[in-house]
Amino acid sequence: MGILNNAIKGTKDFTDTARLNALISDDTKQIQGIYTQIGKLFYETNVHDESTPIGKLCINIDMCNKRIEEHKKAILDIKGSKKCPNCGASINSTSAFCAKCGTKVEVATVQSTTAKKFCTACGGAVPENSSFCTSCGKQFTANAAPEKKFCNGCGEEMETGSTFCTSCGKKCD
């Protein structure tokens, strides 16, 4: 029985130690989080003065944040996107209006031809899930009847009742 009792005690000691180590790890992570909050609060509420060691560190954070924003902008440029100044949504760089909130935004000079639908008001190419036309700002509604019909291949206005585009020949239902 001595060997069995030693084995049971060893197992209990091992599990107790593992549980306590996990609690120590959790508390250590919580302390690190608090240190981070203290540092961020200090950074946000103090002057960034180059004459102090902490001020220099704050200035380094400012420079890193500026580089991060530049990198994010470069990523958007690579993707052909930009951020809406009103809601922050990612929108096509050629859009004149945000597809999410309808805010007018600065227009890039090159027009994209990858859209799958076109605005019934102006014929501008718009992303499939847009609530607003990115060219003229018209808001789309689920049950609105189209005023005009545009080809979903080339974007040209189609004659009323036609099935095929007279410009590119594509069948448009």
pLDDT at 5 over 80: yes
pLDDT at 30 over 80: yes
Q: Where do the structural domains in the chain lie, given as residue ranges?
A: 2-79, 86-173
Q: Closest by alpha carbon to 120, among 93, 144, 90?
A: 144
Q: Which helix (H) or strand (E) holds 118?
A: strand 117-118
Q: pLDDT tens for residues 135-160?
A: 777 887 654 444 567 777 777 777 77
Q: How confident is the model at residue 114 (pLDDT cuts 50, 70, 90)?
A: very low
Length of the chain in residues, anyone? 173
Residue that wins the pLDDT comparison between 60 and 140: 60
Residue that wins the pLDDT comparison between 1 and 76: 76
Number of helical H runs and strand E runs in the chain: 2, 6
Torsion of CA 104, 109, 110, 112, to 10 degrees: 10
Task: Enumerate residues 6+ apart whose C-beta is below 8 A from 111.
Answer: 94, 125
Cα angle 81, 82, 84 (rounded to 5 degrees) comes to: 135
Task: Enumerate residues 6+ apart whose C-beta is below 8 A from 50.
Answer: 56, 59
> If you average pLDDT over every residue of the chain, what do you get?
81
pLDDT, residue 168, reads 73
pLDDT, residue 34, reads 96
Q: Highest-confidence range of 14-23, 41-50, 72-81, by mean pLDDT?
A: 14-23
